[in-house]
Amino acid sequence: MLKLEKLVIDNGGFELSADFTLAAGSKAAIIGPSGAGKSTLIGGIAGFHPIVSGRLCWNGENLTGATPGARPLAMLFQDGNLFPHLSIAQNVGLGLNPDLRLSAAQWDRVNQALARVGLEGMGTRKPAALSGGQQSRAALARVLIQGRPLLLLDEPFAALGPALKVEMLDLVDTLVAETKATLLMVSHDPQDARRIADQVILVAEGAAHPPRETISLLDNPPPALRAYLG
């Protein structure tokens, strides 16, 4: 269970407050107007923005002051999720050991993860030799291999076309179901939320509201959400 107790996150002077819990295994979409603090919320949970007050806990473990690498989560950013000078296999291997000292068995796991996302035999290529969709798949292979209980997505598929984006969301859905991870994803598009998320966290006017069930919230939006949805 992810617990945000009276959390205040600072993003260069902008402060976002959040006070809610999210059950383990949930799939939550974070929606709201641009500039409202969606990325601040996810960045605070990941450890990139300092927590000014309150507590952040995962299954009873206090994460409030932990460094980003020490938190039990994997994260994908809007862009730059792969190191261009490392091969695809190396990029995925980082999920097992950040210094890339891997045993033969671990390299096997890397190849299995690549096969799982449909990139069999492409491990030796550099990211530049892959299409945008394939690059997303490679990043997801790393997420798979990291096996962290929390997955944060900060719109990593925003640059993909609509069909490709749906494909990636479906892949995320299967991977999350396999690993039983808890998913938190920023989204601009209510359709994404309907497609994959069972909960929606609305972020507006400097506050993150507690998660609500997707269908009921979107079908019957409160005023702040209605203003955003238009």
Partner 1 sequence: MARRAQPIGHRSGVGAAAIVAALILGALVAVALRAESGRGLGPSDWGAVQFTVVQAALSAGFSVAIAVPVARALARRRFPGRRILIALLGAPFILPVIVAVLGLLAVFGRNGWISVALGWIGLPPLQIYGLHGVVLAHVFFNLPLATRLILQGWQEIPAERFRLAAQLGAGPRAMWQLLEWPMLRQIVPSVLAVIFAICLTSFAVALTLGGGPGATTIELAIYQAFRFDFDLGRAALLSCIQIALTGTAALIALRTARGDGFGSGLDRPVQRWDARGKAARVLDGGLIMLAAGFLLVPLAAIVLAGLPGLVDLPVTVLAATLNSVFVAGISTLVTLALALPMAIAVALGRGGFVEFSGLLGLAASPLVIGTGFFVVIYPVVDPALLALPVTALVNALMALPFALRILVPRARQVIDRYGRLALTLGMAGRPFLRRVLLPRMRAQIGFAAGLSAALSMGDLGVITLFADSERATLPLQVYRLMGAYQMQAAAAAALLLLAMSMALFWLLDRGGRWHAEA
Cα-flanking dihedrals φ and ψ of residue 125, to 5°? -75, 160
Subset of residues 53 to 72 that bind partner 1, contact rule: CB under 8 A: 67-70
User: Among positive and negative, which fits the CA dihedral 188, 213, 76, 4?
Assistant: positive
Q: Interhelix angle for 132-146 vs 104-116, to 10°? A: 130
- Residues 6 or more apart in contact with residue 168 via CB below 8 angstroms: 133, 136, 137, 140, 156, 157, 160
For residue 48, what are its two tokens?
């990139």
Subset of residues 154 to 183 that bind partner 1, contact rule: CB under 8 A: none
Counting contacts by CB under 8 A, is residue 52 touching partner 1? yes
Subset of residues 182 to 211 that bind partner 1, contact rule: CB under 8 A: none
Q: Which stretch binds partner 1 (CB under 8 A): 31-39, 90-98, 170-178, 180-188?
A: 90-98
When the beta carbons of 41 and 200 are compared against partner 1, the nearer one is 41
When the beta carbons of 68 and 132 are compared against partner 1, the nearer one is 68
Q: Which of 21, 20, 19, 38 is nearest to 29 (CA)?
A: 38
Would you tell me which residues interact with partner 1 (CB under 8 A)?
10, 46-52, 67-70, 73-75, 77, 80-81, 83-86, 94-95, 98-100, 126, 128, 142, 146
